[in-house]
Chain A
Amino acid sequence: GENVEQHPSTLSVQEGDSAVIKCTYSDSASNYFPWYKQELGKGPQLIIDIRSNVGEKKDQRIAVTLNKTAKHFSLHITETQPEDSAVYFCAATNDNYGQNFVFGPGTRLSVLP
């Protein structure tokens, strides 16, 4: 089955700097890769996703890149702000019916003012 690894487990950056979180997956059949942000006391919130037919996707300060050959994808946050502080999860799945999402262990991002 699918296995998703995520690094680093914790990340501290100064406000205004960039943050990068990396995930690797094992199943080459996976073709959908979402990123979730979880704030304290809340459920995970979908912030960006990418499909395997795209190499990069950007939404304002957030971008995701995908390398299918190496089976890894990364979340990039530019111009970080204190409100970006949260736990970030990556996940992988494919379009086949009955395939569940497999999540990475999470990265706790702290943006220091």
Chain B
Amino acid sequence: KAGVTQTPRYLIKTRGQQVTLSCSPISGHRSVSWYQQTPGQGLQFLFEYFSETQRNKGNFPGRFSGRQFSNSRSEMNVSTLELGDSALYLCASRRLLSVNEQFFGPGTRLTVL
């Protein structure tokens, strides 16, 4: 079974631009969560989607948004990029909200110049 895939793997943007990252969960998994990983803050929860609905949201500004499609694939968008948004963005999937085992993708490395 294929794992969680994320595209693109690397992105370079400049301040003020916006970016869209994509995540395809493991087949049969309906929940997708997004995390931001930085050396200073560690792994921080952004949001979780299940059945195309946002179920939970972390403490991030409204510039960070996401959505989930009917095939469970998810995208996250960051508008008006800031230097501090440079990070590894990780997507994780789990089969159901009631199933705790969560599996991560390889991440998208975003660099904001």
Contacts and interface: CB of A to CB of B under 8 A. Distances in A.
Nearest to A89: B43
Interface in B2-37: 4, 33
Contact of B97 (A42, A43, A89, A97): A97
Nearest to B109: A41
Interface of A: 32, 34, 36, 41-46, 49, 89, 93, 95, 97-106
B55 A103 contact: no
The list of the 7 closest CB pairs from A to B, nearest first, reads A43-B104, A103-B43, A100-B45, A32-B100, A105-B42, A44-B104, A98-B56
A43 B105 contact: yes
Contacts, number: 53
Nearest to A4: B42
B103 interface: yes
Interface of B: 4, 33, 42-45, 48, 55-56, 58, 90, 92, 97-98, 100-107
A46 B99 CA distance: 14
Contact of B106 (A36, A42, A101): A42
**Which of A44, A45, A89, A105 counts the most B-chain CB atoms under 10 A from its CB?**
A44
Nearest to A51: B100
Contacts of A89: 42-43
Nearest to B105: A43
Contacts of A97: 55, 97-98
A98 B55 contact: yes
A99 B102 CA distance: 13
Contacts of B104: 36, 43-46
A43 B55 contact: no
A46 B42 contact: no
A36 B56 CA distance: 22
